[in-house]
Amino acid sequence: MIEALFALVIMIVEAAIAACTFIIELVSGVFVAAGSTIGVFDFFLLVFVLLAELVVWLLLWFKQLLTSAIKLEKPAAVRKPVFWRPKAKPKNKEK
């Protein structure tokens, strides 16, 4: 019984790490394809913000799930929070 509980916890942690890795690979792939229009600092800041948004969204989802289970009602949809997005750099137009 204890082994099954440990296996379940390990599976959840491994899934969370895989999800974080997937998000980092996805974001880096998008910016490589876009021609590296943002700097390295902006990239790592964007990855950090996306992961923070994901954690907050999962916590809000879990809270909504628990409150709906306690009140015995249908859970409402939880919107994903948006903390920050980088602004596009203006292109230089020579006249």
| pLDDT tens, per residue, the chain with 95 residues | 778 888 888 888 888 888 878 877 877 777 666 555 667 777 777 778 888 888 888 888 888 888 888 888 887 777 777 776 666 666 666 65
Can you give the pLDDT at residue 88?
Answer: 63
**Domain of 42?**
10-71
Is 25 contained in some domain?
yes
CB atoms within 10 A of CB 65: 12
Separation between Cα atoms, residue 14 and residue 12, nearest integer Å: 5
Is 1 contained in some domain?
no
Is 94 contained in some domain?
no
Q: Which residue has the tokens 């019984």?
A: 1
Is 61 contained in some domain?
yes
Is 93 contained in some domain?
no
Residue type, 49: V
Can you give the pLDDT at residue 90?
Answer: 66
Dig out the tokens for 95 from the structure: 């006249």
Q: How many structural domains does the chain have?
A: 1
Compute and round to an integer the Cα radius of gyration of the chain.
19
Is 26 contained in some domain?
yes
> How far does the chain reach from its first CA to its final CA, in angstroms?
74
